[in-house]
Amino acid sequence: MITVLAGGVGAARFLRGLVLAVDPAEVTAVVNTGDDTVLHGLSISPDIDTVTYTVAGAIDPERGWGLADETWTAMANLTRYVGVRPAGSTAAPEWFNLGDRDLATHFYRTARLSEGATLSEVTEEIARAWGLAIRIVPMTDDRVRTMVDILEDDHVTTVGFQEYFVKRRHSVPVTAIRFDGADHARSTFIDAIGAAEAVIIAPSNPLVSIGPIRALHGVDATLAAHRDRVVAISPIVAGSALKGPADRMLTELGFEASVLGVARLYAPICGTLVIDEQDAEHRDAIEAIGVRCVVADTIMRTPEIAASLATTTLTAAREGARHDR
């Protein structure tokens, strides 16, 4: 069994490659739910949907989120209500788009949760509806919310992740991150870590995608106990994030926006880091801090490149696992 700790777009692209390289039934994706939110009364799990839709081949390739061939009728009609919304109300948000096709997923999730189903159950049902052979599990069935302190107009405001990421288009400085509820949330996958042949940390934002997963009680300690079979893929290439604000966020929070910065963050829980060819020069520095280093093409321009990266990563995990006895 292969366990992949996953955020959104980068993780989804990696998983799409992984299922070409191995039997999908062997793969469990453990997905960040710190970004989950409620809008219009609907329970929205952005990273789970991105992973599900991408592995299903249904994701919109340009946007990287939501469904291909999408229409936006509901959202377009919501603008009618912006003018009558009282001051202080957050109804009819103009800044969060949900496509008409995508809405069906949120409707189903919301209805099932309100019936008392767990998010794990609903996520499994949705994955089945899309014909997926991999398992997709939320990191927890409990409520965890990533909260971001941002610097705006010279003072610090705390906002939910989507208000930072989507509403502010992640263009404001971040001064702190925390994961409300993580202390008491039960992870869904901790028992699987010890049994997994390989644990892969997908090329996702280390702070706000992998961070919430690590923040769950016992997860970091369990990963640390098996760190030789844990392999991460750096989401930072040549000092930049391929997508999203990981590079700026690392710098703003006192880390280094480089493969070495990523290696330092992951060193306690991860025996091997896969870095891009552009960063090959940093290999020795990474190994010097006790993290094995593998160089590969990590820019997943096609599913085939992602599959090749997956094979490289799995090989590294198996190498590492030989030390983990």
Which of 106/282 has CB closer to its own copies? 106
Q: 16-45 mask for its own copies (x: CB under 8 A)?
A: ----------------------xxxxxx--
Q: Where are the beta strands (DSSP E) in the chain?
A: 2-6, 27-31, 37-39, 42-44, 135-138, 145-152, 155-160, 174-180, 198-201, 230-233, 236-237, 240-241, 272-276, 292-296
Q: Show the binding pattern over residues 238-277: x = contacts its own copies (CB under 8 A), - = does not.
A: ----------------------------------------
Least distance (Å) from its own copies to the CB of residue 322? 40
Cβ atoms within 10 Å, residue 272: 29
What does residue 19 show for φ and ψ, rounded to 5 degrees? -70, -10
What's the min distance (Å) between Cβ of 112 and its own copies? 5
Q: Which CB, 41 or 254, lies closer to its own copies?
A: 41
Nearer to its own copies, 89 or 302 (CB): 89
Could you tell me the smallest distance in angstroms from the CB atom of residue 261 to its own copies? 40
Q: DSSP string of 245-262?
A: SHHHHHHHTT--SSHHHH
Compute the least distance from the CB of residue 266 to its own copies, in Å. Answer: 36
Q: Name which of 163 and 252 has its Cβ closer to its own copies.
A: 163
Residue 76 CB burial class (10 angstroms; 0-12, 13-18, ≥19): exposed
> Cα separation of 183 and 319, whole Å?
33
Q: How many residues line the site for its own copies (CB under 8 A)?
A: 43
Q: For the segment 73-132, give every residue that binds its own copies (CB under 8 A).
A: 73-78, 80-81, 83-86, 89-92, 100-108, 110-112, 114-115, 117, 125-126, 128-130
* Backbone CA torsion sign across 202, 176, 182, 271: positive
Give dist(CA 235, CA 220) in Å, integer.
19
DSSP-H helix ranges across 22-86: 46-55, 73-78
DSSP 227: G
Quote the least distance from Cβ 41 to its own copies, whole Å.
Answer: 4
Nearest approach in angstroms of CB 97 to its own copies is 12
Positions touching its own copies (CB under 8 A) are 38-43, 71, 73-78, 80-81, 83-86, 89-92, 100-108, 110-112, 114-115, 117, 125-126, 128-130
